[in-house]
Chain A
Amino acid sequence: MEIKLEEIFQEKIDQEIKIEPRDWMPEKYRKTLLRQISQHAHSEIVGMLPEGNWITRAPNLRRKVALLAKVQDEAGHGLYLYSAAETLGMSRDEMLEELHSGKAKYSSIFNYPTLTWADMGAIGWLVDGAAIMNQVPLCRTSYGPYARAMVRVCKEESFHQRQGYEIMLTLSKGTEAQKAMAQDALNRWWWPSIMMFGPNDDNSPNSAQSMKWKIKRFSNDELRQKFVDVTVAQTEILGLTIPDKDLKWNAERGHYDFGTINWDEFFQVVAGNGPCNKQRLKARVDAWENGAWVREAASAYAEKREAKVKNQIEAA
């Protein structure tokens, strides 16, 4: 029976028919997706922190409003994604509990600090740019609710990316101090950004299954290469230098070659030893704990209202 169901399931996937919440799915497919979507949602929420850090210090009113709207979009993305993940049988509160206990992961990039205003540019340009490379294929991922959430997310992300690049462009045309600020941000965000695509293909054990299930459409290294190729030209326009002495055009491959990624750093940050892991998690836990009385009061009030309405109906 199980084998038959699995065959039907794989057939649907092969025919590009979306899997919906009520459809039969292998337990491992459900778990993989739940892990991936909830991690993605957590990344949006934790990702609000490094940029939120600069809202009160934005250099002018136009930038302040744009940054606020951007960080708010990320909260919205978190909402769509938690909703998509809930269709797989776990509540948002349970997912948050896993985030707060450290069991669930989020994108490691957000464990790096935002030190100057140029970081708002670099994050939009590089981090959102890398996220888009990862996310555009997810608009066609096999699980319906995830694919649909990603369509909305991607539209906003591309706007964020342009906004970030525009900050970098303004800085690169500015004073010497601003140019130096932009270069410094590129230096710090470059390597973490290209790490965002995850380990090399030969070191990414779950990838093959995810490709077969069409959760993933391209391998980590394919996406990373695409990102590097696109970003080099953008960097030239800015007149900035990517901090990689091995970066050079390879005519034979039709791609840029680039230096070796420091995977030790990557795994250290994943393991919790990045510069801001503890602060980011603490900020989320604090927000949740400090908000507990508010959520409890809101539920208590809603229950009171409901009881009142019920009494009125009964009395009538």
Chain B
Amino acid sequence: MAESKDILIDYVLHLADNSMILGQRNAEWCGHGPVLEQDIALTNITLDLIGEARSLYQYAAELKGGDSTEDSMAFLRDVMQYRNTLLLEQKNTDWAYTITRQFFYDVFHYYLQEALVNSSDERLKEIAKKTIKESTYHLKWSSEWMIRLGDGTEISHLKMQNALNDLWEYSGEFFIPSATEIEMQSQGIGADLNALSVKWKSKVEEILNEATLNIPESSFQQKGGKTGLHSEHMGYILAEMQYLQRAYPGAEW
């Protein structure tokens, strides 16, 4: 019994870490966006993502019990305990990379919520019901930017194609199931990643086609994030994010 609770916690943390780490990355843009309206729009998305992560961390903390809180989940776990995919910890680089990373996640995140609103876990179901409203908007926003920049100027097209080529190898990890995800799917709690993968590919192809961008030919996909094998970026992200909690243990803020 205890073991099955641990698996659920691991799954909830995986979902939370995905949105948390992308939110943390996006937050770096706040005040530096290419135009004021889009600075505001990206911050809205960031707020949604961190808001979702909080709901999930709170759930994980309740499952875990003891002194656990949303903050101990986010601020007191180290790199190897984080469960987000590698894509989400990649650098912002520029608006092209940021939009492409966001778009890959939004497509996945949207279809994931579509599945989780039918989860047999009541709490995850409730969170997904709220999140799907937000991720519908996120997907619309990033799809429009993919199209606008892909089919904008020569320069923007080139930048988008480069970002797409570079980030492509991180797009498949969503669908390479971890042991936790396999177990969660079998219990009717988690999503069917194979089905999600088909929907993801079809949506991505549709948008990239309209954006006049080419799907990279390389099929090799990086993985590791779901089991704590992260890229070198992750240590820096957490060092920055967790600095105050680590430097002043136990303090209230």
| A interface with B by C-beta (< 8 Å) | 45, 48-49, 52, 55-61, 63-65, 68-69, 71-72, 75-76, 78-79, 82, 117, 167, 170-171, 173-175, 177-178, 283, 286-287, 290-298, 300-301, 304
Contact = CB atoms under 8 A, between A and B. Distances in A.
Interface of B: 24, 27-28, 30-40, 43-44, 46-47, 50-51, 53-54, 57, 70-71, 74-75, 94-95, 147-149, 151-153, 155-156, 159, 240-241, 243-245, 248, 251-253
Contacts of A174: 251-253
B153 A296 contact: yes
Contacts of A59: 75, 244-245, 251, 253
Interface of chain A, main secondary structure: helix
Contact of B35 (A69, A71, A175, A294): A294
21 contacts: A49-B31, A56-B28, A57-B244, A60-B74, A61-B50, A64-B27, A65-B54, A79-B40, A170-B252, A170-B253, A177-B248, A178-B248, A178-B251, A283-B31, A290-B34, A291-B33, A291-B34, A297-B148, A297-B153, A297-B155, A304-B151
A71 B74 CA distance: 22
Contacts of B159: 293
A80 to B, nearest CB: 11
Given A170-B252, A293-B153, A68 B43 contact: yes
B30 A52 contact: yes
B153 A300 contact: yes
B156 A68 contact: no
B27 A68 contact: yes
A83 to B, nearest CB: 11
Contacts of B70: 61
A64 B70 CA distance: 13
Given A65-B54, A291-B95, 10 more contacts: A52-B32, A56-B241, A60-B245, A65-B51, A68-B46, A72-B39, A294-B38, A296-B153, A300-B153, A301-B152
A287 B28 CA distance: 12
Nearest to A287: B32
Given A60-B71, A65-B50, A175 B151 contact: no
A52 B27 CA distance: 8
Nearest to B27: A55
A286 B51 CA distance: 30
Most buried by A among B27, B31, B148, B248: B31
Given A61-B71, A290-B94, A301-B151, A48 B31 contact: yes
Given A72-B44, A301-B148, A283 B30 contact: no
B253 A52 contact: no
Contact of B34 (A72, A82, A294, A300): A294
B158 to A, nearest CB: 10
